[in-house]
Structure 1
Amino acid sequence: MRALLVVNPKATTTSERSRDVLVRALRSEVDLQVEYTLRRGHATALAREAAERGVDVVVTLGGDGTVNEAANGLMTSAPALAGVAGPPAYRLPALAVVPGGSTNVFARALGLPRDWADGTSVILDGLRDGRHRVIGLGRADDRYFTFCAGVGVDAAVVRRVEQARRRGHTSTPALYIRSMIGQFFSGEDRKTPPLAVERPGEETQTELSMVVVQNTAPWTYLGDRPINPLPDASFDRGLDMLAIRQLYVPSTARTVTQIASRKGDPHGKQVLKLHDQAEFTVLASRPQPFQLDGDYLGERQKVHFVSVPEALRVIC
């Protein structure tokens, strides 16, 4: 069995020593090639090339951004795009994820351990036993995502967090909470919601302030606590969507409290939820922040979301 290990050398929870241990462990089971990412988007190119060489497994060591790039590389490779009947999961290398970032939402949503060493043990057992899970992905225009996407306030918070990290701040739950509060009280979208959601054959929903899309549950984590606004979202179904209408202080505070509770599942007049959607389009009257899997990707005025069933095989 041939495998490619894609390592993000800036992964926050691993060291050079732990990477060496991982490499030795994988080499005991597979014919392993190791590549280190050098820039944003490099993991996409590496995974795409591996799929086109016929590698059996692509392993990532990094955070959710590295996983997202690898998934995009696999899904845009020649085997995935070949005009062959059947879902791409069975034409592509399997994906294995060793958690190495600060949050690791995708790995945790799959039930993998947070610790990289324990995660490696699960992957090794899966490789020996031939164990895997077939999952669906989401696609936003031409970019795939594994667990979430956002347009509007949600993505603006991600942008604030990334800016703070570039200034040397550590990614912590407190940083996200401060960024969310700062965005809420500074954003113009409180008064003039710019977003709308179009669905085939359905009435357009307008005057929305933010849109969150989930491909699985939870949406994210604050430390050990899952944040679960759409608890029925699943890798095995279509996309789920949560939209907030007007960002009035009392109703927004109530919605945030509901989202942060252990039950999640917010509700009320200012909340719009859609479940198990094959496709929909988010439109904006002015450019809005946009994020996929926790990475800020600039501003958009239109994003077409599609559910892609049976997209990947994941070792877990």
Structure 2
Amino acid sequence: MRALLVVNPKATTTSERSRDVLVRALRSQVELTVEYTLKRGHATTLARKAAESGVDVVVTLGGDGTINEAVNGIMTADPGLASGTASPAFRLPALAVVPGGSTNVFARALGLPRDWVEGTGVILDGLRSGRHRVIGLGRADDRYFTFTAGLGLDAAVTRRVEQARRRGRTSTPALYLRSLVGQVLSGEDRKTPPLSIERPGEEPETGLGTVIIQNTAPWTYVGDRPINPNPQASFDRGLDVLALRSLGVASTTRTVTQMTSRRADPRGRNVLRMHDQVEFTVVAARPQSFQLDGDYLGERQKVHFLSVPRALRVIC
């Protein structure tokens, strides 16, 4: 069995020594190639080339951004160069995830251990036994995502956090909270919510201040606490949506409090929720912040979302 290990050298929870231990452990089970990412988007290129060369498994050591890039590389590989059945999940390489980021939402949603040593043990056992899970993905225009996408408030908060990290700040729950408060208090888009959701055969939902899309639950974590805008979201169903009709301070605070409660079930006149959606388009009256799997991707005015069922094999 051939495998590629894609390493983000900036992974926050591992050291060079621990990476060497991981490499030796994987080489005990597979014919392993190791590649280090050099810049944003590099993991996509590495995973795509590996898939087209016939690699059986792509292993990532990094955070959710590295995983997202690797998934996009796998899913956009030339199918003419990959062997197997017609189903993409079995025609293309499987994915194995060693948690190395600060939050590791995707790995935790799969039930993988947070510790990279324990996570490596799960992967090795899965490789020996052939154990895997087939999951659905989301797609935003031509880019895949594993657990979340968003336009508006949550993406603007992601932008603020990334700006703070470039200034040397550490990614912590406190940093996200301060970024959220700062974005809400800035008043952007509060008076005239710019977003709409359009679905085939349905009347559009208009006047929305932010839109969160989930491919699984939870949406993210604050430390050990899961944040659950759409608790029923699942890798085995379509996409779930939570949108806010207003970004007023009081109403937004109430919804955020509901999302962070132990029995999360956000409701109220300000909340729009959609479950198990196959396809829809988010349209903005003016450019809005856009994020996929926790990475800020700039501003957009229109994004088409699609649920892609049974798209990817994951060792877990």
85 and 273 in structure 1: CA distance in 2 versus 1, 3 angstrom threshold: farther
Unaligned stretches of 5+ in structure 2?
none
Task: Tell me, yes or no, if structure 1 residue 292 matches structure 2 residue 292.
Answer: yes
How far does residue 252 in structure 1 lie from its aligned partner after superposition?
1.8
User: 2:214 and 2:85 mapped to 1: Cα distance?
Assistant: 27
How far does residue 229 in structure 1 lie from its aligned partner after superposition?
1.0
* Aligned counterpart, 1:305: 305
Summarize deviations over 1:45-74 as a string: whole Å, max 9, x none.
000001100000000000000000000000
User: Which residue identity does 2:263 align to in structure 1?
Assistant: K
Q: Which range moved further: 184-193 or 103-112?
A: 184-193
Summarize deviations over 1:248-277 as a string: whole Å, max 9, x none.
222222111101101112000010000000
User: Which residue identity does 1:89 align to in structure 2?
Assistant: A
Unaligned stretches of 5+ in structure 1?
none
TM (normalized to structure 1)? 0.98
User: 2:220 and 2:25 mapped to 1: Cα distance?
Assistant: 30
Aligned residues: 316
How far does residue 165 in structure 1 lie from its aligned partner after superposition?
0.2
* Aligned counterpart, 2:92: 92
287 and 233 in structure 1: CA distance in 2 versus 1, 3 angstrom threshold: same
How far does residue 247 in structure 1 lie from its aligned partner after superposition?
1.7
* Aligned counterpart, 1:234: 234
Q: How does 1:1-316 map to 2 (within 5 A)?
A: 1-79=1-79, 86-316=86-316
Structure 2 contact 230–265 (Cα < 8 Å) conserved:
yes
User: Which residue identity does 1:101 align to in structure 2?
Assistant: G
SS of 2:124's partner is helix
How far does residue 81 in structure 1 lie from its aligned partner after superposition?
9.6
235 and 247 in structure 1: CA distance in 2 versus 1, 3 angstrom threshold: same
User: 1:172 and 1:87 mapped to 2: Cα distance?
Assistant: 40
User: 1:139 and 1:47 mapped to 2: Cα distance?
Assistant: 18
SS of 2:211's partner is strand
SS of 2:189's partner is helix
User: 2:87 and 2:216 mapped to 1: Cα distance?
Assistant: 19
Taking only aligned residues, the RMSD between alpha carbons, in angstroms, comes to 1.4
172 and 228 in structure 1: CA distance in 2 versus 1, 3 angstrom threshold: same
Identity of aligned residues (%): 79
User: 1:251 and 1:74 mapped to 2: Cα distance?
Assistant: 41
TM (normalized to structure 2)? 0.98
